[in-house]
Structure 1
């Protein structure tokens, strides 16, 4: 099996070969009935992933998201549960998100945070025998435009689970204060940047409000933020596009699940791995907490030195 590589050349997972027991033994055989061989292999690869040791994040804000995977009835591949954030949200309104949010001090761990937030946002049960934990992935971090305050960075821990009873999804209801819509997307599409004919049905219009791009399924552009170069990935869906941190999480998930690198170039030329970026923010944040940024506009830089306005909703130094 070919393992996905991080920017530093290290494999993203040790793979299922490193395990001497069935990593899916905690899931009842009946919950795996009807799954395709591809889906079972994906679940096994994810359950085999060795979670990197948690590090002290100091003053950096922390959040957790739930990557809830399931195989649709009549399908043979895994899909992921997604939401469109409410247009009234102060940050990232109307953007695609995974259920999740801020780690509260009373949360016992990040898995609880992700599950609690999923319950609060869409009503996914906190405790249910058809929701099976798989793994916790490498942490990612929000990438901010130039002139943003360093304290606005958030380190996000992805928690992956498998939903074996898809009838649970029919009972989900969006919390109107946080979520405008609930929808799904095939995980494999975040690996290949393409969709098959069946999954292409119902996608938003090319050139429309939700997909103002020429590419059919996958669009990228390289930009420069507070932490250097970053490749923004966007995936066309039946609703708001998958992009930014959500795309970073799902690309990582898909690479591990399918045991192969993306079919497209994942990183910008000089983009550093998230572990390096996070270490830098953890190290430097104490020196910036009480300092304000200069009063210039919040902008992204281009790789050729150009500048363009950010669509982010918070002000510099907020």
Structure 2
């Protein structure tokens, strides 16, 4: 499927930076081999304004790195991903963007995301081929019913461009945190479709990693502690992109391509992340020391169904 790019100043939320060249911090030789599509995507992202700093109160915070690059012989941007180690307490064997908890000594979320990427896969902390583009609005983990409110995490995406993809060849997964390192085309998170070489080497349809009938993109609506939520899943060469990772990459792709998704993005009564985050920040102080019902941690369905959560941690755990 061909995606027609909108003009680089046409950002979905209407914001833009007033700059004659938003990529002027990147050496021209690092951009010379990019396709027009990739170049426009980078300009759209670099043109996206960093959101204002927000006080999230008692809510735990993390940052993830959306590291974009153009593969040799390709004409589109891909994103660096990992499969979390099966021994991890939270979200084992799930796809993730490099990232993790904001430490008190971190000067900003850019440092957090870059530090975590170094710790998890060895992406260099300081390299001339890694260029900062922007910071996106925070998203939040969506929890199943009967989860404790303190388990919410506000996650800030930090977007960068890797102009020399050869540095990815030297990445080594930290076995305590990462089982695999792989990549996926960003456009696939906008269209829900893969074609050409992007559709090769994917996990088997109906198999353990992709137990769905759909070819590339599957959704279902569920109800968690914050209300209705549409779970997106994208088929990859490894573990599927879903949950918070899919939310981040969907948003990144709409900014990069300056277009809405070609599929329905939200559940009928799904609230936007700023409202969900604001509500949790407001209410958490009144719940932080309270226990929750000891019943099963599960998702609700829009027709009143109940589905067991795949999470192994107990309700109320920090």
- In 2 relative to 1, CA 57–224 (structure 1 residues): closer, same or farther, beyond 3 Å? same
Runs of 4+ in 1 over 3 A off after TM superposition: none
Contact 1:13 1:256 (C-alpha < 8 Å) held by counterparts: no
Contact 1:13 1:50 (C-alpha < 8 Å) held by counterparts: no
Q: Equivalent residue for 2:300?
A: 301
**Counterpart mapping for 1:216-255 below 5 A:** 216-255=215-254
Name structure 1 gaps, 5 residues minimum.
none
3-state SS in 1 of match to 2:103? coil
**Counterpart mapping for 1:203-282 below 5 A:** 203-282=202-281
For residues 259 and 169 of structure 1, the distance between their equivalents in structure 2, rounded to whole angstroms, comes to 27
Q: Equivalent residue for 1:169?
A: 168
For residues 110 and 2 of structure 1, the distance between their equivalents in structure 2, rounded to whole angstroms, comes to 29
3-state SS in 1 of match to 2:34? coil
CA shift for structure 1 position 2: 8.1
Q: Equivalent residue for 1:199?
A: 198
C-alpha deviations, 1:117-165, integer Å up to 9, x for none? 0000000000000000000001000000000000000000000000000
3-state SS in 2 of match to 1:222? strand
3-state SS in 2 of match to 1:199? helix
For residues 121 and 224 of structure 2, the distance between their equivalents in structure 1, rounded to whole angstroms, comes to 32
CA shift for structure 1 position 11: 4.2
3-state SS in 1 of match to 2:64? strand
For residues 49 and 290 of structure 2, the distance between their equivalents in structure 1, rounded to whole angstroms, comes to 38
For residues 313 and 72 of structure 1, the distance between their equivalents in structure 2, rounded to whole angstroms, comes to 37
Q: Equivalent residue for 1:38?
A: 37
1:75 aligns with 2:74: yes
Q: Equivalent residue for 1:138?
A: 137
For residues 291 and 48 of structure 2, the distance between their equivalents in structure 1, rounded to whole angstroms, comes to 40
Q: Equivalent residue for 2:3?
A: none
CA shift for structure 1 position 293: 0.4
3-state SS in 2 of match to 1:147? coil
Q: Equivalent residue for 1:12?
A: 13
Contact 1:63 1:154 (C-alpha < 8 Å) held by counterparts: yes
Q: TM-score, normalised by structure 1?
A: 0.96
Name structure 2 gaps, 5 residues minimum.
1-5
For residues 278 and 51 of structure 2, the distance between their equivalents in structure 1, rounded to whole angstroms, comes to 14
CA shift for structure 1 position 305: 1.2
For residues 11 and 194 of structure 1, the distance between their equivalents in structure 2, rounded to whole angstroms, comes to 21
CA shift for structure 1 position 19: 2.2
For residues 312 and 285 of structure 1, the distance between their equivalents in structure 2, rounded to whole angstroms, comes to 21
**C-alpha RMSD of the superposition:** 1.4
Contact 2:12 2:255 (C-alpha < 8 Å) held by counterparts: no
Q: Equivalent residue for 1:181?
A: 180
For residues 187 and 298 of structure 2, the distance between their equivalents in structure 1, rounded to whole angstroms, comes to 32
For residues 186 and 271 of structure 1, the distance between their equivalents in structure 2, rounded to whole angstroms, comes to 27
Q: TM-score, normalised by structure 2?
A: 0.96
For residues 257 and 125 of structure 2, the distance between their equivalents in structure 1, rounded to whole angstroms, comes to 28
C-alpha deviations, 1:296-316, integer Å up to 9, x for none? 100100011111111012111
